[in-house]
Structure 1
Amino acid sequence: MQSWKSLIWSALAVAIGVPVALAATSEQLAWRGPVYILAGFAGIVALALVLVQPLLIGGYLPGLSAYRNRRAHHWIGGALALAVVIHVAGLWFTSPPDMIDALTFASPTPFSPFGVIAMWAIVAVALLAALRRRLGLRLKTWRIVHIPLAIVIVACSVIHCLLIEGTMETISKAALCALVLLATIKVMVDLWRKRALRGERA
């Protein structure tokens, strides 16, 4: 059992570590400034955190209790929002006109609108999570709002990443994106099955 736990955590480390390591060896970094590099890697980290989130909420990572999964999901959600802020702020610092075009959906680059949509969805989830108690959102209502936004975040983040020809190596990037999609689909199916089973029991 312990070997399986180690294998799962090792697989997650490889899935995240390999794309990051290969991006760090990209020849394109030689022509980039430090702020741009920081912004780019913040985006890579954000995508990695998007992979971890469904694994936590689905309870697929061994050795964590349900409570720890929820707490980790909460804190990693905050880290995801911070990574996106660093990503956007860094790109704004290096090229304000390009960011204005992206935020106003006037950019000619095909990946820009998907990144902006994912960004606003992440901001919406972060704000709602922070204000959930004040707004009096019940768990059922929170899920109705959170799940569609999570789907938007995953879909747009993956498309945004795949369309960018940047420092990330092609195959490892595609593999990471595929894992993000598979993990999200898996947790959505499992949650649907649990609710259907509860409905039958009721």
Structure 2
Amino acid sequence: MAGWRSARAILIWVALALAIGVPTALAATSEQLAWRDPVYIVAGFAGIVALGLLLVQPLLIGGYLAPLSVYRGRRAHHWIGGALVLAVMIHVAGLWITSPPDMIDALTYSSPTPFSPFGVTAMWAIFIVAVLAPLRRRFELRPRTWRFIHMPLAIIIVVGSVVHCLLIEGTMETFSKAVLCAAVLAAAAKAMMDLQVWRKRRTLRGEGP
């Protein structure tokens, strides 16, 4: 049993590295980079990094990345959340520098590009979580209350980011991008279902939230 758990942990880490590393590496070899300025390239790869972090987040909070303990996984979840906010800010700032009119259209939901509203909506949801998370202890939010707030926002973030990415025809290779997006959706769905089951079991046992 211990051997199977060790092998499973290794497989998860390898799959995670491939899911993020392969599309990033293929994007770095894209011919489209030759016609892009450095700021635009940095902004684009910040978006790829953000998508990769979205895959890591549910794996951490769900406790799937052994040998990290559940406690350490949740602590890392907080830090990765901060890195996600930073990556999104770099992504948006770089695109703003390269084309302010396009970014104004995107932020005001008047852009003709179909992927813009999904990305902007996911961005605002990320910022809302980033603002609310530090206030959780200050206002003594119960775990159940925090889940009630955080879960819908997490769904918006994941779905919005995935649709945003899939609709963009850019430097990312199509198949590897689709695999990464599918992994993000699967990991998020798995973590949410497991956490929901865990909550129900505690309630049935009379342990409270």
TM category (shorter chain) comes to over 0.9
Deviation at 1:106, TM superposition (A): 0.4
* CA–CA distance in structure 1, aligned partners of residues 172 and 142 of structure 2: 40
Instruction: Tell me which moved more, 126-135 or 16-25.
Output: 126-135
Residue 21 of structure 2 corresponds to which residue in structure 1?
17
Of 51, 54, 71, the match for 1:67: 71
Residue 139 of structure 2 corresponds to which residue in structure 1?
135
Deviation at 1:197, TM superposition (A): 2.0
The residue identity in structure 1 corresponding to 2:37 is G
Residue 54 of structure 2 corresponds to which residue in structure 1?
50
- Superimposed CA distance per residue, residues 31-51 of structure 1 (whole angstroms, 9 cap, x where no aligned partner): 000000000000000000000
- The Cα RMSD (Å) is 1.1
SS in 2 for 1:87: helix
Residue 42 of structure 2 corresponds to which residue in structure 1?
38
- TM-score, normalization: structure 2? 0.94
* CA–CA distance in structure 2, aligned partners of residues 35 and 65 of structure 1: 38
Residue 125 of structure 2 corresponds to which residue in structure 1?
121
Residue 198 of structure 1 corresponds to which residue in structure 2?
202
* CA–CA distance in structure 2, aligned partners of residues 26 and 129 of structure 1: 37
- Superimposed CA distance per residue, residues 114-149 of structure 1 (whole angstroms, 9 cap, x where no aligned partner): 000000000000011122223332322211111110
SS in 1 for 2:128: helix
* CA–CA distance in structure 1, aligned partners of residues 30 and 44 of structure 2: 12
Of 139, 146, 171, the match for 2:175: 171
The residue identity in structure 2 corresponding to 1:183 is A
* CA–CA distance in structure 2, aligned partners of residues 180 and 72 of structure 1: 17
Deviation at 1:30, TM superposition (A): 0.3
- 5+ long unaligned stretches in structure 1: none
* CA–CA distance in structure 1, aligned partners of residues 189 and 10 of structure 2: 24
- 5+ long unaligned stretches in structure 2: none
* CA–CA distance in structure 2, aligned partners of residues 136 and 201 of structure 1: 23
The residue identity in structure 1 corresponding to 2:167 is L
Residue 77 of structure 1 corresponds to which residue in structure 2?
81
SS in 1 for 2:134: helix
Number of equivalent positions = 202
- TM-score, normalization: structure 1? 0.97
